[in-house]
Amino acid sequence: MVTTRTDEIAAGLSRTRERISAAAAAAGRHPEDVHLVVVTKFFPASDVRILADLGVTEVGENRHQEAAAKAAECADLGLRWHYIGGLQSNKAAAVAGYADVVESVDRSSLLPRLSRGAEERGQDVDVLLQVSLDPPGRAGRAGADPGDVPALAAEVVATERLRLRGLMAVAPLGEDPDPAFARLARIREEFLVEHPEATVLSAGMSGDLEQAILHGATHVRVGSAVLGQRPTVK
């Protein structure tokens, strides 16, 4: 029997949806309260089309050039594009030109640039603040220090064209994700006191979505569990 790419993706998708449902049930939550963002980085636009056919509505990308090209190629699909990668300041305005949600906002210098890009596009951009769960000083650390979140959140609220929607985090490499997501849940609790409308919590990937859902994730970002191992060269 020949397995088509559509069959492959459909199988990955259904396994992932089952994991999400089971994790939500175990946490006493409704599965429909956990959104699946399929991370399509390194995979071709043809896979994005298959995903859309299979009912996926939200996709994530982490590299600007690739994301911009794919979003343009798939503009007819009506998908919500999440930008989840490191943001260079000089690319921020361009990212706001196609991303509906920018999940990786970690410093205030990005805000005027994102705002300008959104203004040029004529559409507000949803913003998540990426919080670092790494110990301070770790190399390659991405995300704002938890202590800087309140000030950064206030700046987003004060910026035209940006809508503060919530928080995003990645579990630290080589650490049990459970205590890391427990820390994230406490950070979020404090954040929600000031910003009760900003209820999104983007956390959890292929390897740790169960732990993230247990600690309140509303969005999981899943790549390889749906699409298979990422190609090493594009």
- Residue 215 found at the interface with ligand PLP (CB under 6 A): no
- For residue 76, which amino acid is it? D
Q: DSSP string of 170-233?
A: -PPTTS-HHHHHHHHHHHHHHHHHH-TT--EEE---TTTHHHHHHTT-SEEEESHHHH-SPPS-
Neighbours of 82 (CB within 10 A): 28
Q: Which is nearer to ligand PLP, 176 or 197 (CB)?
A: 176
Q: Which is nearer to ligand PLP, 144 or 222 (CB)?
A: 222
- Residue 19 found at the interface with ligand PLP (CB under 6 A): no
Burial of 189 (0-12, 13-18, 19+ CB in 10 A): exposed
- Residue 20 found at the interface with ligand PLP (CB under 6 A): no
Strand 219-222 with 101-105, pairing: unpaired
CB of 17 to ligand PLP, least distance (A): 14
- Residue 221 found at the interface with ligand PLP (CB under 6 A): yes
Instruction: Select from 64, 91, 33 the least CA-distant residue to 217.
Output: 33
CB of 37 to ligand PLP, least distance (A): 8
Measured CA distances, 207 to 16, 174, 187, 203 (Å): 11, 12, 22, 11
221 within 8 A of 39, measured Cβ to Cβ: yes
Q: What is the 3-state secondary structure (H, E, C) of 44-56?
A: CHHHHHHHHHCCC
Q: Which of 153, 170, 200, 212 binds ligand PLP (CB under 6 A)?
A: 170
CB of 120 to ligand PLP, least distance (A): 26
- Residue 224 found at the interface with ligand PLP (CB under 6 A): yes
> Contact region for ligand PLP (CB under 6 A) — 50-58, 119-127, 148-156, 219-227?
219-227
CB of 89 to ligand PLP, least distance (A): 19
* 116-155 residues near ligand PLP, rule: CB under 6 A: none
Contact flags string 61-80 toward ligand PLP, x per CB under 6 A: -x------------------
| # residues contacting ligand PLP (CB under 6 A) | 13
Dihedral sign, Cα of residue 153, residue 110, residue 164, residue 199: negative
CB of 228 to ligand PLP, least distance (A): 9
Binding stretches for ligand PLP (CB under 6 A): 39, 41, 62, 84, 170, 205-207, 221-225
